[in-house]
Amino acid sequence: MLKVLIPTIMLVPTVWLTPAKLLWPATLAHSLTIAVTSFSWLSNPCDTGWSLMNQSMALDPLSTPLLVLTCWLLPLMILASQHHMIHEPINRQRTFITILTTLQVFLILAFSATELIFFYIMFEATLVPTLILITRWGNQAERLNAGTYFLFYTLAGSLPLLIALLLLQNTTGTLSLFILHYTTTLPMISIADKLWWAGCLVAFLVKMPLYGMHLWLPKAHVEAPIAGSMILAAILLKLGGYGMMRVMTLLEPLTPQLSYPFIILALWGVIMTGSICLRQTDLKSLIAYSSVSHMGLVAGGILIQTPWGFSGALILMIAHGLTSSALFCLANTNYERTHTRTMVLARGLQMALPLMAAWWFIASLANLALPPLPNLMGELMIITSVFNWSWATIALTGAGTLITAGYSLYMFLMTQRGPLPNHIIALDPSHTREHLLLALHLLPLLLLMGKPELIWGWTA
């Protein structure tokens, strides 16, 4: 564990001590080395349970894929931000990378925490660098409002979690994930118990976000700089899913009845946010709403609490993390050239940037879950597991897949196909950096097809 954590922390001195000329290459190389080191976690020596333990951190099949994704994303964020940061003064560039690094440190600690309170603190700590990222480095004035929404939605959700966790600590005497499974679970008798149940989950449902508590997400995504959008879509939303899976297993007895409304809401949200995507004119907002839609499926899969549901949710989280991050990068390549997020102003780009169109195509296909991409495996498993609960859900999930296909291809056709408008004929050619960035997003996705057990979670 520490062999990744300490180098990540040491990335901060690297950022500040490297000569200005080498800042970006050095940090990129450093973070990529960390990411590659983290791959070794994937070969989990013990079949079940925990590995690589120290006093407060450990790995298990659930957290490993998310941790590796976290480590993998830092170099990608650095790669993606390079172009729009290059005009800033050098110290601001250094600050920017420092913030990204800090976020990474908090995320590693959050995913590898073995104590729920430790997890909670790290979960909250990630808010700070993210908030700075959105409100300091965003482009429009609306970023301040977006920051407020982001902070308050998340905080309002997670403060009850603190109380719930303290109560749990009081009752069971421990919050360690190793032992907690062996303690007796809280009885679900009074209304207060049920509120406790809700308190345990609401923080994560807001973070996911569940439909109805998602307003912060499109705003934050749209206003954040590219690195912010990437990390939000790829990792921060997954913190919610991860936390839910961790807590869900502690809430066993009465949760089926309590979670039904949430499942329905999540699946209903898939359709509603999907339909919103169909009418989006703003590219980043479309991708953001599509994230809400996909995370709705994840929420459904987790709340259903079957092994298939959990595996499907984890697979979809990883696959969606890579896919939506790739889509944000693609949207950003458009933005850096045309300086607009409005889709009608930047269309027909296949004519100008043919290789980018290929990346767009693969990313759109991943978004609409083409078999055998991991996205499909995840969606199929989730659809199957909620279907196992109730037949009627196929109407919601089925309509969801239809709408997803609709807006993914709408996005592709709108941005890439059709004639190139006259006002954007003089575009920068695409950079090798951008191709590398997208390859690093999509190749892992393609490679995961070969060995999906890596992200299968507990049931592998």
Partner 1 sequence: MCLTSLMMSSSLVAILVLLSLPIISTLSPETKHPSWALIQAKTAVKLAFFVSLLPLFLFLSEGAETILTNWNWTNTLTFDINISLKYDFYSIVFTPVALYVSWSILEFASWYMSSDPYMNRFFKYLLIFLMAMIILVTANNLFQFFIGWEGVGIMSFLLIGWWYARADANTAALQAVLYNRVGDIGLIFAMAWISMNLNSWEMQQIFVTAKDLDLTYPLLGLVVAATGKSAQFGLHPWLPSAMEGPTPVSALLHSSTMVVAGIFLLIRMSPLINDYPVIHSTCLCLGALTTLFTATCALTQNDIKKIIAFSTSSQLGLMMVCIGLNQPQLAFLHICTHAFFKAMLFLCAGSIIHSLNDEQDIRKMGGMNSLTPFTSSCFTVGSLALTGTPFLAGFYSKDAIIEALNISHLNAWALILTLLATSFTAVYSLRLVYFVAMGNPRIQPLPPINENSPSVTSPIKRLAYGSIISGLLITSNITLPKTQVMTMPTHLKLAALAVTIAGLLVALELANLTSKQFRPAPKIATHHFSNMLGFFPTIIHRLPPKMNLSLGQYIASQMLDQTWMEKIGPKATYTLNLPLITTTSNAQQGLLKATLASFILTLALALLVVFLK
Residues in touch with partner 1 (CB under 8 A)? 149, 152-153, 212-213, 215, 272-279, 307-308, 311, 348, 350-351, 361, 365, 370-372, 376-377, 380-381, 383-384, 387-388, 391, 394, 397-399, 401-403, 405-406, 409-410, 413, 416-419, 451-453, 456, 459-460
Longest dimension (CA), the chain: 68
Cross-strand partners of 176? 115
- CA pair distance 369, 66, nearest whole angstrom: 20
Please, what is the minimum distance in Å from the beta carbon of residue 371 to partner 1? 5
Q: How many residues does the chain have?
A: 460
3-class DSSP state for residue 124?
helix
- 286, 277, 301: which is closest to 397 by C-alpha? 301
Q: How many CB atoms lie within 10 A of CB 253?
A: 11
CA atoms within 13 A on the CB side of 443: 8
CA atoms within 13 A on the CB side of 66: 30
Distance CA 222, CA 294 (A): 17
CA atoms of 387 and 368, how far apart (whole Å): 20
**Residues 375/319, Cβ–Cβ less than 8 Å:** yes
Q: Minimum CB separation from partner 1 for residue 387, in Å?
A: 4
Q: 231, 77 in Cβ contact below 8 A?
A: yes
Which residue, 328 or 407, has its beta carbon nearer to partner 1?
Answer: 407
Nearer to partner 1, 7 or 212 (CB): 212
Shortest separation between residue 290's beta carbon and partner 1, angstroms: 13
Which residues neighbour 419 within 8 Å (Cβ) at sequence distance 6 or greater? 348, 351
Residue whose CB is less far from partner 1, 102 or 364? 364
Judged by beta carbon, residue 28 or residue 369, the one nearer partner 1 is: 369
- Residue 369 beta carbon to partner 1: minimum distance, rounded to whole angstroms: 9
Q: How far is the CB of 390 from partner 1 (least distance, A)?
A: 12
* Between 30 and 207, CB nearer to partner 1: 207
DSSP letters for 354-397: HHHHHHHHHHHHHHTT-TTSHHHHHHHHHHHHHHHH-TTHHHHH
Q: Which residue has the tokens 């057990």?
A: 453
The DSSP code for 89 is -
Nearer to partner 1 by Cβ, of 70 and 293: the residue is: 293
Which is nearer to partner 1, 7 or 406 (by Cβ)? 406
Shortest approach of partner 1 to residue 322 CB, angstroms?
18
Minimum CB–partner distance for residue 348 and partner 1 (Å): 7
CB of 379 to partner 1, least distance (A): 9
Nearer to partner 1, 111 or 310 (CB): 310
